[in-house]
């Protein structure tokens, strides 16, 4: 399930990543298939950004984890 990027997620991405990277991060989040996510999309997106801490490689790792099971990302970020 694709989840729309909220203003809070877009703003957090802009504060954590360089401008060009923030646009790529938001595009990747919007395109990601996060199965069975229901109404936790913003929480998961924010958890991914938190765990990535501005590092693109870590962002992609966390996004991949969320695509397998988004609940793991929430647990790792302390947001479960």
pLDDT in tens, 55-77: 999 999 999 999 999 999 999 99
| Nearest alpha-carbon partner for 44 in 55, 57, 59, 23 | 59
The yes-or-no verdict on residue 46 having pLDDT over 80 is yes
* Tens-place pLDDT, residues 6-45: 999 999 999 999 988 999 999 999 999 888 777 789 999 9
pLDDT at res. 74 = 93
Q: What is the DSSP letter of 4?
A: P
Whether the Cβ atoms of residue 2 and residue 30 lie closer than 8 Å to each other: yes
pLDDT at res. 44 = 94
pLDDT at res. 47 = 96
**Model confidence, pTM:** 0.92
């Amino acid at each position: 399930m694709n989840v729309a990027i909220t203003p809070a997620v877009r703003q957090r991405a802009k504060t954590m990543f360089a401008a060009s990277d923030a646009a790529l991060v938001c595009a990747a989040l919007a395109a990601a298939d996060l199965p069975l996510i229901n109404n936790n999309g913003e929480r998961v997106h924010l958890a991914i950004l938190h765990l990535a801490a501005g590092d693109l490689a870590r962002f992609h790792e966390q996004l991949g984890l969320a695509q397998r099971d988004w609940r793991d990302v929430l647990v790792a970020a302390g947001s479960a």
